[in-house]
Amino acid sequence: VRDLGVDDEEPLEWFWPPTAPVGYDGAPKPTDETIQRQHSPWTAPTRLTKTDHTWRLAYGEAIAQKPDPPQEYAESSHLLDDLRRIEWWPMTVQEAGKIQAERLMHTTRAAAYDLHSQGFTISTEPYETRMRELHDRMRSNKTAHLGDREARKWAGDLGARLSLIDAEAWASAVRTARAGGEGWSVSGPESRQ
């Protein structure tokens, strides 16, 4: 959400970070030197705005991706039901799931047999923050002092969670590469690699 402190009569805006141009109002600015050299093909993010009782969805736009026509949701429940599709647009949820499954199989096989796995820079939110949080937890490896609720958050195989986030970020990077068109890959513009 860009600004939670808006007045009641002003529209509330939410945007999907993977489709936001670098430094879009409210989006974290890249800090790593390598990431700063990368550009985003997105010229406008996918945004939701709420005025009165209606949510309006405006799809993002990129070098090689024109937006779909805007949509309106009079019922918040209809918007909630559609969020997964909105998150992966212009891909379908099924295509994004297939790309994630292929990435999981590829990276798991590579790890199992000590083979090369294509890497990429994960610099897109929310994936970067989620991975950093898991890496920090894995380094500290402290759950004994946590309350039940907090301990449950960190239960399970954190390495497997990292693989799942990597797969989501990979699918997002594939979407971004497509939005960039010719000359773009999952690691950004090919001329900058």
Per-residue pLDDT tens over the stretch 105-132: 999 999 889 888 887 777 777 888 888 8
CB-neighbour burial class of residue 60 (10 A; exposed 0-12, middle 13-18, buried 19+): buried
Provide the CA 183 distance to its chain's centre, in angstroms: 21
Burial class (CB in 10 A: 0-12, 13-18, 19+), 130: middle
Q: What are phi and psi of 117, to 5 degrees?
A: -130, 130
Per-residue pLDDT of the chain (193 residues; tens, 9 = 90+): 455 555 666 666 777 777 777 666 655 555 555 444 457 888 888 999 888 889 999 999 999 999 999 999 999 899 999 999 999 999 999 999 999 999 999 999 998 898 888 877 777 778 888 888 888 888 776 555 566 666 666 777 888 999 999 999 999 999 999 999 999 988 888 765 4
Q: What is the pTM of this model?
A: 0.78
Residues 67-87, buried b or exposed e (16+ Cβ, 10 A)? beeeeebeeeeebeeeeeeeb
Domain regions of the chain by residue span: 12-88, 93-192
